[in-house]
Amino acid sequence: MIRIAVDVMGGDIGPEVTLAGSALALKRYPGMSLIFYGLAEKVEPVLRKYPILASCMFRATETATEMDEKPTQALRSGRGKSSMWHAIESVKNGEADVCVSAGNTGALMAKSYFCLRMLAEAERPGIAGIWPTIRGDSIVLDIGATIGADANQLVDFAIMGAGMFRALYHVRRPTVGLLNVGREAVKGLEEIKKAAHILRDMTFEGLEYRGFVEGNDIGKGAVDVVVTEGFVGNIALKTAEGTVRQAAKILRDAMSDSILSRLGYLLSSGAFRRFRQKIDPRRVNGGMLLGLNGVVIKSHGGTDAEGFSSALRIGYEMVQGGLLEKISADLRHFHEK
Amino acid sequence: MIRIAVDVMGGDIGPEVTLAGSALALKRYPGMSLIFYGLAEKVEPVLRKYPILASCMFRATETATEMDEKPTQALRSGRGKSSMWHAIESVKNGEADVCVSAGNTGALMAKSYFCLRMLAEAERPGIAGIWPTIRGDSIVLDIGATIGADANQLVDFAIMGAGMFRALYHVRRPTVGLLNVGREAVKGLEEIKKAAHILRDMTFEGLEYRGFVEGNDIGKGAVDVVVTEGFVGNIALKTAEGTVRQAAKILRDAMSDSILSRLGYLLSSGAFRRFRQKIDPRRVNGGMLLGLNGVVIKSHGGTDAEGFSSALRIGYEMVQGGLLEKISADLRHFHEK
């Protein structure tokens, strides 16, 4: 049984989405057990709508973290009180194996960092995102935990990202690339070039370093793990999301232009459904906080029930794949040399 | 008459594409006159295929810049000799109003910088790209002229980008945003926050500063001009290009999945054509080198004739819109205060 602590209050909508998503996930993954944290008056009425959730534990909390609270403020006001804090703390206490929240990213990062602390071998946390590509899913990190990263931190991201890829996709030796503005070794920022040297020279069975990759290589699935610092990663991710939405909007408009194209659309509706599923960001909704002494998943704040259930599934698979053990063993192995 | 100097040798293919594109452009814009630079033995046979180009001037050059030459090497070997150098020099000499090349970006940047020098008021060059959005085209800069930028350089990019937008789209006061990882004033890098202060406090009729924008705002067309430094801009641009290609590939695969969807595709083929046109990167193919004492356009190396003709059109419109005068007046106005 894998035990997931759910911050029911997180997200733009809150309990209506997180509990609906929990019900979906529980139906699909009977090996999952859920513990809910949230405000009693908000959670209980929604909880009653889902008979499948009746057997889950619910723990009432005093407060909930607002979506626009600043990290320091959220830490001050929520410590020991908020649903987000309690969900994280249950991982620390060993009551849960993983915490999932669709709440405010900065607050989740700050609280997780403060409550769980870092793995002994990791210097800085990172958030890893799952990126759908033509070849399958890739992992991109850091997508916004912190801004800037030096060469050693980039190398840690490479190791942690590869560990996550192995845990999720059961690949023995994931390929890793450093995001840069060109493939040639002369290009890019100093820290990226230094990280490239370290990665090229290291002998480590857990990943295969493939060199620099560019922005357009991500969607191609050129490597399994794309490493960058948080500012660039965040902008790349959001730019891609914006581009997918833009392409879908333009396609929709073009399709409703004439009667003929509307008819064509009806006939191809199965194909369009498959298209949407493949580029649907909800399918891989789940940023992973890496480097912490515990597994914490960040779901998109604006996700729906389907998306939230994906985040729960990712948490489930991450624990099942032994993510934390893999990452800490790998970092230890690497830093001991 | 607007006189365009064409580096015929530039691009992955060379004369076959650049001359075919020139023929297309000349047919569409009779107000254009072209001067070709390139190796006689490569250019002349192709030139003979296009009667419309018979009246254009052709100047044979000694060398051509390779697509993979390093900027310093290209400058050393090509100075006074290559087709790229001569095309740029003709702008300096006043023989041409604008130079267009699909050659190696680093070499074009280095030669233009060396030959044309900077505008007195500009500190650093930038490359501006035209980005198709849901609302129309936006301009994004810097997309890779240099790496890193301080606050004053970001402000210069804002002024130059707004000048370019006015020259191309005849909008009196384009909106400008600074690319960042969040919209709140507390987020992001120090230099971006400083630039935000300067832009917020400035009184300048040539642009309207709208604050921070995120990656997903670019495709929405949230602002007319998106300002960032070259590393982030280059990665955002290439990530978006990769995402468009990925979405198109997934859609194509989905459409050929069944007989029904293939039939639907036939019926909607007009809609698909409109979709492709709208997201077609060739339509807005033309990076603009800004900050130099002359107008230089960089076309994609891998473009086709249609794309190269777009780059020529952009050069034409840029000169017609009085780009250089606008930008130098604006920078002077701003820096005098």
The vertex-A87 CA angle with A86 and A92, nearest 5°, equals 85
Task: Give the helix ranges, DSSP H, for B5-127.
Answer: 15-28, 40-47, 71-78, 83-92, 105-116
Question: Which value, in Å, is the radius of gyration of the alpha carbons in chain B?
Answer: 20
Contacts of B67 in chain A (CB under 8 A): none
**pLDDT higher than threshold 80 for residue B28:** yes
Is the minimum CB–CB distance between B203 and chain A shorter than 8 Å?
Answer: no
| Dihedral sign from CA coordinates of A230, A233, A235, A238 | negative
C-alpha distance from B211 to closest chain A C-alpha (Å): 16
Residue B284 is predicted with a pLDDT of: 64
Task: Please name the residue of chain B whose CA is at the shortest distance from the CA of residue A144.
Answer: B181
Query: pLDDT class for B67, splitting at 50, 70, 90?
Result: confident
Q: Report how far apart, in Å, the C-alpha atoms of B143 and of each of A149, B147, B238 are.
A: 21, 9, 9
Contact B239 A245 (CB under 8 A): no
3-class DSSP state of A4 = strand
Position A99, amino acid: C
Is some CB atom of chain B closer than 8 A to the CB atom of A185?
A: no
Q: Measured between beta carbons, which residues in chain A are less than 8 angstroms from residue B251? A: 251, 271, 275
Which residue in B188, B216, B268 is closest to A268 by CB distance? B268
Q: Up-side HSE of residue A154: CA atoms within 13 Å toward CB?
A: 30
Answer whether residue B35 shows pLDDT above 80. yes
Q: How distant is the Cα of B112 from the closest Cα of chain A, in angstroms? A: 20
- A237: CB partners within 8 A, 6+ apart: A129, A131, A140, A143, A144, B215
Spatial CA neighbour of B213 closest among B175, B178, B162, B188 = B178
DSSP state of A100: E
Query: Contact B278/A237, CB-based, under 8 Å?
Result: no
CA–CA distance, B149 with B143 (Å, rounded to integer): 12
Q: Could you tell me how far CA B244 lies from the centroid of its own chain? A: 18
Encode pLDDT of B211-226 as tens digits. 999 999 999 999 999 9
Residue B100 has pLDDT above 70, yes or no: yes
How many whole angstroms separate alpha carbon B40 and alpha carbon B46? Answer: 10
Look up tokens 């992992």; give the residue.
A139
Q: For residues A105, A106, A109 and A114, what is the CA-based torsion angle, rounded to 10 degrees?
A: -150
Q: Compute the distance between CA of residue B111 and CA of residue A64 in angstroms, rounded to an integer.
A: 59
The three-class DSSP label of residue B16 is helix
**Partner B contacted by A54 (CB < 8 A):** no
Picking from A262-276, B40-54, B76-90, B184-198, which range would have the lowest pLDDT averaged per residue?
A: A262-276
User: How distant, in Å, are the alpha carbons of A33, A310, A311 from that of A29?
Assistant: 9, 11, 13
Mean pLDDT of B302-313: 92
* Integer Cα distance of B325 and B265 in angstroms: 49
Of the pLDDT bands very low, low, confident and very high (cuts 50, 70, 90), residue A60 is very high
B133 contacts in A (CB within 8 Å)? 246
Closest chain A residue to B222, measured at CA: A242
Residue A300 to residue A287: CA distance in whole angstroms: 8
Among A238, A241, A268, the residue with its CB nearest the CB of B255 is A268
**What are the φ/ψ torsions at residue A211 (nearest 5 degrees)?**
100, -165
Mean pLDDT, residues A34-56: 96
pLDDT, tens digit, for every residue of B131-144? 989 898 999 999 98
Q: What is each CA distance from A127 to A143, A157, A228, in whole angstroms?
A: 6, 9, 11
Instruction: Share the mean pLDDT of chain A.
Output: 91
Residue B316 has pLDDT above 90, yes or no: yes
Q: What is the pLDDT of residue A284?
A: 64
What's the pLDDT score for residue B337? Answer: 58
Quick check: B264 and A267 CB within 8 A? Answer: yes
| Interface contact flag, B236 A236, Cβ < 8 Å | yes
Mean of the pLDDT values across residues A206-217?
Answer: 95
In a 13 Å sphere around the CA of B238, the CA atoms on its Cβ side amount to: 24
Compute the average pLDDT of residues B101-119: 94
The neighbour count for residue A187, using CB atoms within 10 Å, is 18
Average pLDDT on B88-95 reads 97
Count of beta carbons in the 10 Å neighbourhood of residue B184: 13
Higher per-residue confidence, B287 vs B183: B287
Tell me the pLDDT band of B193, cut-offs 50, 70 and 90: very high
B4 compared with B333, residue with greater pLDDT: B4
Residue of A nearest to B245 (CA): A219
CA distance A196 to chain B (A): 17
What is the rounded CA–CA span in Å between residue A135 and residue A137?
A: 7
Confidence band for B280, pLDDT divided at 50, 70 and 90: low
Q: Is B268 helix (H, G, I), strand (E, B) or coil?
A: coil
**Tens of pLDDT, residues A129-153:** 999 898 989 999 999 888 999 999 9
In the prediction, which pLDDT does B110 show?
A: 94
The pLDDT value recorded for residue A281 is 58
pTM: 0.90
Residues A73-104 pLDDT 10s: 999 999 999 999 999 999 999 999 999 999 99
Chain B residues with CB-CB distance to A134 below 8 A: 246, 249-250
What mean pLDDT comes out for the span B89-113?
95
Provide mean pLDDT across the span A2-18. 96
Inter-chain CB proximity B251 and A275 less than 8 Å: yes
Q: ipTM higher than 0.95?
A: no
User: H or E stretch including A263?
Assistant: helix A259-267
Which residue among B188, B261, B267 sits closest to A260, beta carbon to beta carbon? B267
The Cα A93–Cα B299 span in angstroms is: 59
Min Cα distance B327 → chain A (Å) is 27
- Name the DSSP class of B297: E
